Amino acid sequence: MKCGMERRHYEEVLGVTEGNFELIGRGLKTGIELYEIEPPVVSQ
């Protein structure tokens, strides 16, 4: 079961548990939406 193995791998690497896995996903989605609305200024 590959999906289970990948989930376990992420849990080990990021310290992600079943409880906050969805929460982190939602946080990433929000971050991406904010990035698209107001992209950070890149200074050169």
The answer to the question of residue 42 being in a domain is: no
pLDDT in tens, 1-44: 456 667 677 667 666 666 666 777 777 777 667 667 666 677 76
The predicted pLDDT at position 37 comes to 66
d(CA 26, CA 1): 25
The answer to the question of residue 10 being in a domain is: yes
Contact 8, 1 (CB under 8 A): no
Residues 6+ apart with CB under 8 A from 10: 16, 21
Number of Cβ within a 10 Å radius of residue 24? 13
Structure-block tokens of residue 6: 């990948």
The predicted pLDDT at position 2 comes to 59
The predicted pLDDT at position 35 comes to 66
Task: Tell me the residue range of the domain where 18 lies.
Answer: 2-37
Give the global pTM.
0.27
The answer to the question of residue 31 being in a domain is: yes
Backbone angles phi, psi at 43, to 5 degrees: -85, 140
Total structural domains in the chain?
Answer: 1
The predicted pLDDT at position 13 comes to 67
